[in-house]
Amino acid sequence: MIEIRIPKEIRTYKEKLFFGLNLRQLICTAIAILINVPLYWFGKDIIGPDAASWVVILIAIPLFMIGFFSYNGMTFEQFIKSVIQFEVIYPQKRKYKTLNMFEMLSSYNEREGKKRVLSKKTKIHREEKDANT
């Protein structure tokens, strides 16, 4: 009997084209091969095989990530965009500042109370000076 695999969620289905790769993966693999094979072939004579292989690896990693990476249904570009938005563009900690009216009124009353006390003291002091003279 022939068994057909049916995905649980139809939106997650991706059609396989060649060697079990979907179109996105196939295009990214082809681009990586077209760039990196000549780069290694001609670069090993110039910078040596070890350095050329590291250059090829560093160039191939982003290309393969674009093709094969998927996180919570997001492609690599969508994932990088969301990481940049939440880590760089938007603030990490939200600062909540309140206006403490009680503190403001108490400090205001202290200042005004001292002024009133000083003004009463100065009046008393002036009256004493006037009485003494």
The pLDDT-based confidence of 35 (bands split at 50, 70, 90) is very high
Cα distance between residue 24 and residue 66, in whole Å? 8
Judge whether residue 52 has pLDDT over 60. Answer: yes
Contact 107, 99 (CB under 8 A): no
Q: State whether 89 and 133 are in the same domain.
A: no
Q: State whether 88 and 105 are in the same domain.
A: no
Q: Is 71 helix (H, G, I), strand (E, B) or coil?
A: strand
The pLDDT-based confidence of 21 (bands split at 50, 70, 90) is confident
Q: Is 48 left (phi over 0), alpha (psi -120 to 50) or beta?
A: left
Q: Specify the residue for token string 């072939």.
A: 41
Domain carrying residue 102:
98-133
Q: State whether 9 and 48 are in the same domain.
A: yes
Backbone angles phi, psi at 67, to 5 degrees: -80, -40
Backbone angles phi, psi at 18, to 5 degrees: -145, 125
Q: State whether 22 and 87 are in the same domain.
A: yes
pLDDT at 57: 93
Q: State whether 60 and 77 are in the same domain.
A: yes
State mean pLDDT over 11-30.
77
Q: State whether 104 and 54 are in the same domain.
A: no
pLDDT at 38: 92
pLDDT at 60: 92
What is the rounded average pLDDT for all residues in the chain? 80
Contact 67, 29 (CB under 8 A): yes
Cα distance between residue 48 and residue 54, in whole Å? 10
pLDDT in tens, 61-116: 999 988 888 888 888 999 999 999 988 887 677 777 788 888 888 887 777 765 55
Percent share of the chain, pLDDT over 90:
23
Q: State whether 46 and 84 are in the same domain.
A: yes
CA dihedral sign of residues 17, 22, 27, 32? negative
